[in-house]
Structure formats: C-alpha cells, structure tokens
Amino acid sequence: MNFNQDIFLNNIAQTTPFPYSISIERAEGIYLYAPDGKRYTDLISGIGVSNIGHRHPTVIKAIKDQLDKHLHVMVYGEFIQSSPNLLAQKLNEILPPNLNCSYFVNSGTEANEGALKLAKRYTGRTEIVSFRKSYHGSTHGSMSVSGNEIKKAAFRPLLPDVKFITFNTILDLQHITTRTACVIMETIQGDAGVRVPSKEFMLALRKRCDETGALLILDEIQCGMGRTGTFFAFEQFNIVPDILTIAKAFGGGLPIGAFISDKKIMNCLTHDPMLGHITTFGGNPICCASALATLNVIQDEKLLDTVEEKGKLFEKLLVHAKIKEIRRIGLLFAIDFDSEERVNRIVEKGKELGIICYWFLSHPYSFRIAPPLTITHEEIQESCALILKAIDNS
C-alpha cells in the first residue's frame, strides 16, 4: 500500500492548494478508516455519492457477479447486454411514462452535456436558459450553463447564447421564449447552499416551457436517488421534466450517469447526423450492475420512508448560538455561519474529531451535510455531538 503524501500532492493533479488530505484505507457503511485505524464518519457521502453507504453488500455482490461474466465489450449502443437492459427497465418502472429512454454516460457533467445537445438537436433552437448561482459541472458546456462567474472567467469563451435568470423568481420566466431550446435547472440548487424552489414557481416554470416549446431539463445529479425523501426531487413539485439528468449516487460508488427522456425525443440523436452523441465507456456493464443494485436497495430497504424523520432529528440536535441558519430538504443540509473563516475552522476541527463535513464551492459561509440514507438514529446523535463540539472550538 502507498499513502505517501508527496506522491499525492506532486504526481496526482490537484484541484486546490489545500486538499482535505486524509488517507483512507477502507470504507464500510457510513465510516471511512485511515491506515492507522482512525475512523471518520462520512457525513457528506463522498459528495452525494454513497447514498446507501459505502460498500453495501448487495452492490458488492452485483459487481462481483458481473465481473464473472464480462467487463467492457463494445462502445455504447452497439451490443445488447443484460446489465444495461435491466437497468433501463428498472428506471422505466420508477420514472413517469415520458421518461422512458435512458442514455448511460460516465458522470454528471457528461449527462448534462448530452442533455443540452439533445435539446438543441430536437428543437432546432440555440438559446439555453439557466439560473444564477447554479452548478452543472466542469466541462465546457456544463460550465457554460453554471452560474458562478468566478469559476468560469479563466476559461472563456464558453458556449454562446446562454441566458441566466433568477432562481425561484416567477417574473423572470418571461425570458423563456420561442427562441429557447431548453431550460436547465437543478431541482434543488445544491452548490448555492441548498435552495429549494416553491411549488408555485415549479408549476409556472413547467407551464412556461410548455407554452414556448422549450424543453425542461432537471438536473438531479446531487438531489436525486432519494436524497430529498423521494426517489427524485421533482416528484415533490407535481411536475415532470422533458429530460432528467442523474449521476453521483446513481452508481452506488461506481461512475455512471444518465440523461433520460422520451424515446421520440431521444431518437433524434440517431440520424442527421448518425452518432449524434457517442461514448466509449457509457453503459459499462459493471457500473450498470452496481446502479441497478443501488436502485433495488433504496426500494427493498425502504430507505425513502425514513429520510424526513432523520433530517428532522439532525435539525433538532444541531442547535447552537453560532449557527445562523439551517436550510434542509430531506437529508441535504446547508448550515450557515457568520464567516468563511469560521466554517473552515469547523471543518478542520471536525476532521480532527473524526467527523467529515465539507464546504460548498460557491457558498463559503456554509458547510454541507448529506449523510448516507442508511445512517441510524444513534449515529445521527453521535455525529451531532461531534459537530457541536467542533462548533464550540471554532
């Protein structure tokens, strides 16, 4: 084994000058373990990935079973394989009828890239409407429709014909017109610090898209897969998107994403030109097997039934004079403090105490909590006690 920090810092590309920098040898359930045996409670699920915990036995078995059959055999869309077929069939069972055709990719940003291409190709339009403070990924197209200019400025020029409006503001929906190919929106704005739209706004958004012929893309890469208490967050707003994007927790720990739409819409990527969207590793059989097992675990273990009560328990226990505000939906939290510096001190103290909370990219005076949905009431109580201790020492 090699946990050499110099190799990590110098031979693996870094994303910031100050990585979290703990060594992890193994993981199980809600816990991560360092080589020296120190245990960390993962309250962020690997940033929204491990919704059913680390190394869930059902997922591990599904991966091993597929390993005994085959790994990659062909680029996406050519060979008929059982694992992607079963996954697509399962998604059809749990999604509304118009979301009946899945295109499997490797990540969330790839799902959004595919969704944007699909909307432009289907409508024949070029304008994209997105929202201020949004986050949709780091590739050029996804970055183009993300709302953080500080993150974007160094990489311009980006996609043209992108318009930004204000999240949860009905008056701004007038900027969606018959020029608009699509509106892309996180159903719950995550990186902005857990911003939840009103039902009134969501209904008005759906209506405006219907009136103008713009396709509605809902990005549920972070808020999907049970995080909010329903399989998909849009279920709570009585609307259905034209295109849905998912990733992160979808794979149960392996890399997979998808953009999902109606077959009649998705079919436009097959002609004029053919191969309108292609991927080598999308629909990887191992990842599909893991994703199918993850969906089954969420259903079979009835994890959705306890999300809200667990979220309320966190809120009940996390009471401290230094906390300015808690925003929550399900088991997704943003906890506000008076400064970025205090948040940094809390996160660092939490690391010392063996509790992992984390920052938001675009909301520095909050830290995030998004634990595995499998966390128990006792584990919540233990976790909150450590968080409060970290706040005390901030």
Q: Where in the chain is the domain with CATH 3.40.640.10?
A: 58-300
pLDDT given for residue 360 in this prediction? 87
Residue 363 has pLDDT above 90, yes or no: no
Indicate the pairing of strand 101-105 with strand 257-261.
antiparallel
DSSP state of 51: T
Give me the half-sphere count of Cα atoms (radius 13 Å) on the Cβ side of residue 215: 29
CA nearest neighbour of 50 among 369, 338, 342, 371 = 371
Question: Helices 307-317 and 377-392: crossing angle, nearest 10°?
Answer: 30
**Cα–Cα distances in angstroms (integers) from residue 297 to residues 2, 47, 155, in the given order:** 33, 19, 40
pLDDT given for residue 101 in this prediction? 98
Model confidence pTM above 0.75: yes
Band (361; pLDDT cuts 50, 70, 90): confident
Q: Which pLDDT tens digit goes with each residue over 246-275?
A: 999 999 999 999 999 999 999 999 999 999
- Which amino acid makes up residue 323? I
CA-based angle 139:287:46, to the nearest 5? Answer: 60
- Which amino acid makes up residue 38? K
Q: Which pLDDT tens digit goes with each residue over 173-199?
A: 999 999 999 999 999 999 999 999 999
Q: What percent of the chain has pLDDT over 70?
A: 100
**Mean pLDDT (whole number) for 320-344:** 97
Q: Which two tokens stand for residue 386?
A: 């450590």
pLDDT given for residue 359 in this prediction? 86
**Mean pLDDT (whole number) for 325-342:** 97
CATH number, span 58-300: 3.40.640.10
Rounded Cα distance between 366 and 333, Å, is: 9
pLDDT given for residue 322 in this prediction? 97
Residue 38 has pLDDT above 90, yes or no: yes
- 5-55+302-392 falls under which CATH superfamily? Aspartate Aminotransferase, domain 1 (3.90.1150.10)
Min mean pLDDT across 3-12, 77-86, 281-290 is at 3-12
pLDDT given for residue 275 in this prediction? 95
pLDDT given for residue 343 in this prediction? 96
Bigger pLDDT: 305 vs 360: 305
**Cα–Cα distances in angstroms (integers) from residue 144 to residues 33, 132, 141, 216, 260, in the given order:** 38, 12, 5, 17, 21
Q: Which pLDDT tens digit goes with each residue over 297-327?
A: 999 999 999 999 999 999 999 999 999 999 9
Residue 109 has pLDDT above 90, yes or no: yes
Rounded Cα distance between 149 and 122, Å, is: 29
**Mean pLDDT (whole number) for 369-394:** 97
**Mean pLDDT (whole number) for 103-131:** 98
Residue 18 has pLDDT above 90, yes or no: no
Rounded Cα distance between 193 and 183, Å, is: 21
Q: Where in the chain is the domain with CATH 3.90.1150.10?
A: 5-55+302-392
- Which amino acid makes up residue 127? E
Mean pLDDT for all residues in the chain: 97
Instruction: Let me know: does 123 contact 181? Beta carbons within 8 Å.
Output: yes
pLDDT given for residue 362 in this prediction? 82
